[in-house]
Amino acid sequence: MKALLLLVTCSTLFLTACNDTETGTELVTPPQQQEVELPKTPDVEPTPDPIQPPESEKPPLPPVDTPPVMPPKAEPKPDPVPEKQPDQNQDKQPDENTTQQPDQNQDKQPEPPVVAPDPTPVPVPPSAFTLTAPTLVTGKTFLFQWQTSQNADEYTLCRKNTTATDNCDVLSSGLTEANKQVELNSLLSTNETYFVVASNKDGDQKSNEVSIEPSALLNAIGLLKASNTDSNDNYGNAVAVSNDGSTIAVSAFKESGIANDPTANSAALSGAIYVYRKTNGIWNEVAYLKAPNADDKDEFGYAIALSGDGNTLAVSTINEASSATGIDGNQLDNLAPASGAVYLYVNSGSSWQSQAYIKSSNSNLVDSFGFSVSLDSDGTTLLVGAPGESSSAQSINGDETDNTGSLSGAAYVFELQNNQWAQTAYLKSTNSDKLDSFGYDVALSEDGLTAVVGSPGEDSNATSVNGDEMDNSSDNSGSAYVFVHNGTTWAQDSYLKASNSDSEDQFGHSVDVNSDGTVIAIGAFNEASDSEINGNESDNSASGAGAAYLFYKSQAGWQQEDYMKAVNSDASDKFGSDVQLSSNGKALVVGAPDEASSSQGLDGDVQLNDASTAGAVYLFTDVEGTWQQTEYIKSRNTDAGDGFGGAIAISGDGNTLVVGAKDEASDGSDFNDNSSSGSGAAYIY
């Protein structure tokens, strides 16, 4: 402070030099000026700035060589604290004419220390591993096992499908163990391959692809025998399966037991039905059914049908002899031999109960009412064939009492109305004639609105659709008729003949229709061509080889589109003895009970002819509009004379196939023991 006052005073008095003896501070001025010692005047108030002299009185500028005036030495300051610099603007007052700028550093937090990032982790996908061939557990259930894949978090088991995402139809996913038991939907393919995908966050690893070994597939074929197996019971004469493949019915129409004692054998050829349900992949017999009026030689179970939902069962008895008519008549009147009857059973949840006893409205002896039966999906509409019926009536609801048309045949429609069954239509062909056997086989669409009736004894030489019905120059060439329900009544829609119609072909021996009534399959088990699919129809060099025909409905009506033959077509095979369509009409199975190969299982040697009438079944699949034979199916214990394929049934979803072999001869304890001739069997694929 003293130094500051001294400087100010010296400057004011234009002194040439000032010397502060207390501070040692010396100011150098030009030598012309005299040094004046100023009196010490403590506590003197600051004086105003002196009046500046005019320009002429100002001291001259120092010469160039004159050293500059040095400021007084400042008080020594303490060393600054490292890493923290003082805010140079902290005590600075803003100029009143200057806009004050915010201190950008005032609230700024110190920057955190820079940390070096961890090295980028290297992805570690699952390691390679091996899937082994599946092994059979039971039924269609197989065990899939594979090596543990290192670093894998989970596994997905796939069936290869080139049309699916990543070629994978997922059988099971989210697996954490290196094994999985899976029940396969179907055994109807030998070309299926399987693989496993191991996964973690870094990627996937696919295993090798494997197929099921032929021996495992063979052992997976289900083989059903009656719980009271006996010679000549003909178990497997008729078979039926629900749409989802979970319920199966098998008839043994020559079985001789009684209701309370299946082993009694005291009711010869009375017949029986066996119902099975699948639980946890295992088939269990849940019902043994006998007619409430069972009698010798009635042959209960000659034909059977299951509703699509599997809860209603129709069973026919073609030799039943009651003269009753209509619904729930007198069952004990045996005055009309072989008039026939149909029995309806419903599943109550825990058991099967009799629902109705059905006779035709014009029941008569030898009508064989019930020779064929069909139910719609929910079991509320029933179609029954009676090829022995003899009315000469034609078309719908004609004169039932005229019996001048011997064995012309008829079909009957029954509907469940207000919990009561009633006959709603009496169907005859528009060209009904003697021996036509109209009603030999029948089929009802799942919606119950389309009915197909086969007439293998019809004699017209017409071909294709709606030809000349009245020309009877081609004996037993056969035909089929399509009837539709228009909401109130039934009417004949079309008259179908084979494109190569010929005498004795018996076109119409078997018929079926898909769920919505747009595809019809018809068998001609005596057709004689030695041809192939859509091949030469006019070749008649293989008598009794058999054929099947596919008709499609369009806006223009019905048209034959495909002519089906077995890949190993041979004389007397009787290909077309039975035909069955899946619900969507994309899968067709055809039975040939007299085919003669001794091969077993799937896709065996088709050229063998060393097991006469062993029988075979053929699976055809519509692949993008083209029909192909995709499987050649034999039993697991093939033997001559078994008649495998005489009866077939395929589930609506096309995944479960049931085949009857009514003359199979094993005793039930050993499938290769032929000690029980004609006992019969059924096979599940």
Structure tokens at 630: 């995709």
In whole angstroms, what is the distance from residue 568 CA to residue 580 CA?
20
Residue 267, C-beta contacts closer than 8 angstroms, at least 6 positions apart:
256, 257, 258, 290, 294, 295, 296
Fold of 221-398+423-684: Methylamine Dehydrogenase; Chain H (2.130.10)
Mean pLDDT check: name the lowest of 74-88, 583-597, 631-645, 647-661. 74-88
Q: Report helix, strand or coil for 634.
A: coil
Q: What is the pLDDT of residues 523-571, one digit of tens each?
A: 999 999 999 999 999 999 999 999 999 999 999 999 999 999 999 999 9
Q: Which residues pair with 1 in a beta bridge?
A: none
In whole angstroms, what is the distance from residue 435 CA to residue 426 CA?
18
pLDDT band at 40 (very low <50, low <70, confident <90, very high): very low
pLDDT at 104 over 60: no
Q: Which residues pair with 427 in a beta bridge?
A: 396, 411
In whole angstroms, what is the distance from residue 321 CA to residue 341 CA?
8
Structure tokens at 239: 């078979």
In angstroms, what CA-CA distances link 374 with 444, 493, 512, 658?
Answer: 6, 19, 10, 17
State the DSSP string of 262-326.
Answer: TT---STT--EEEEEEEETTEEEEEEEE--TT--TT--EEEEEEE-TTS-EEEEEETT------S
pLDDT at 107: 59
pTM over cut 0.85: no
User: Quick one: average pLDDT of 127-151?
Assistant: 97
Task: Please report, to the nearest 10 degrees, the dihedral formed by the alpha carbons of residues 176, 182, 185, 189 taken in order.
Answer: 100
pLDDT at 109: 67
pLDDT at 133 over 70: yes
pLDDT at 105: 52
User: Quick one: average pLDDT of 343-372?
Assistant: 96
CB–CB of 606/567 below 8 Å?
Answer: yes
In angstroms, what CA-CA distances link 210 with 213, 451, 511?
Answer: 9, 45, 39
The larger pLDDT score, comparing residue 98 to residue 620, is at 620
Structure tokens at 72: 């007084």
State the DSSP string of 301-317.
Answer: EEEEEE-TTS-EEEEEE
The larger pLDDT score, comparing residue 201 to residue 111, is at 201
pLDDT at 29 over 50: no
pLDDT band at 669 (very low <50, low <70, confident <90, very high): confident
DSSP 3-state percent helix, strand, coil across the chain (nearest 5) = 5, 35, 60
In whole angstroms, what is the distance from residue 148 CA to residue 165 CA?
24
pLDDT at 64 over 60: no
Q: What is the pLDDT of residues 599-649, one digit of tens each?
A: 999 999 999 999 999 999 999 999 999 999 999 999 999 999 999 999 999
Q: What is the pLDDT of residues 204-224, one digit of tens each?
A: 999 999 999 999 999 999 999
Is CATH 3.60.15.10 what the domain over 135-215 is classified as, yes or no?
no
Q: Taking Cα atoms as reference points, which of 473, 469, 531, 541 lies closest to residue 502?
A: 473
The larger pLDDT score, comparing residue 101 to residue 582, is at 582
Q: Report helix, strand or coil for 219.
A: helix
Q: What is the pLDDT of residues 232-287, one digit of tens each?
A: 999 999 999 999 999 999 999 999 999 889 998 999 999 999 999 999 889 999 99
The pLDDT mean for the chain works out to: 88
Residue 57, C-beta contacts closer than 8 angstroms, at least 6 positions apart:
none
Task: Please report, to the nearest 10 degrees, the dihedral formed by the alpha carbons of residues 386, 392, 393, 399 taken in order.
Answer: -90
Q: Taking Cα atoms as reference points, which of 42, 53, 33, 58 lies closest to residue 2?
A: 42
In whole angstroms, what is the distance from residue 348 CA to residue 674 CA?
38
DSSP 602: B
Amino acid 672 reads: N
Q: What is the pLDDT of residues 442-477, one digit of tens each?
A: 999 999 999 999 999 999 999 999 999 999 999 999
Residue 134, C-beta contacts closer than 8 angstroms, at least 6 positions apart:
142, 143, 144, 194, 210, 212, 216
The larger pLDDT score, comparing residue 377 to residue 50, is at 377
Q: Taking Cα atoms as reference points, which of 16, 8, 49 lies closest to residue 33?
A: 16
Mean pLDDT check: name the lowest of 31-45, 356-370, 432-446. 31-45
Q: Taking Cα atoms as reference points, which of 574, 511, 549 lies closest to residue 627?
A: 549
pLDDT at 27 over 60: no
User: Quick one: average pLDDT of 24-30?
Assistant: 40
Q: Which residues pair with 181 in a beta bridge?
A: 143
Q: What is the pLDDT of residues 391-444, one digit of tens each?
A: 999 999 999 999 999 999 999 999 999 999 999 999 999 999 999 999 999 999
CB–CB of 617/592 below 8 Å?
Answer: yes
In whole angstroms, what is the distance from residue 661 CA to residue 559 CA?
33
User: Quick one: average pLDDT of 381-386?
Assistant: 99
Structure tokens at 447: 């919606």
pLDDT at 69 over 50: no
In whole angstroms, what is the distance from residue 243 CA to residue 224 CA?
19
pLDDT at 486 over 60: yes
pLDDT band at 106 (very low <50, low <70, confident <90, very high): low
What are the extents of the domains in the chain?
A: 2-57, 135-215, 221-398+423-684
The larger pLDDT score, comparing residue 281 to residue 78, is at 281
Alpha-carbon Rg for the chain, nearest whole angstrom, is 50
Residue 130, C-beta contacts closer than 8 angstroms, at least 6 positions apart:
146, 147, 207, 208
Amino acid 597 reads: S
pLDDT band at 12 (very low <50, low <70, confident <90, very high): very low
User: Quick one: average pLDDT of 365-373?
Assistant: 98
Q: Which residues pair with 325 in a beta bridge?
A: none
pLDDT at 498 over 70: yes
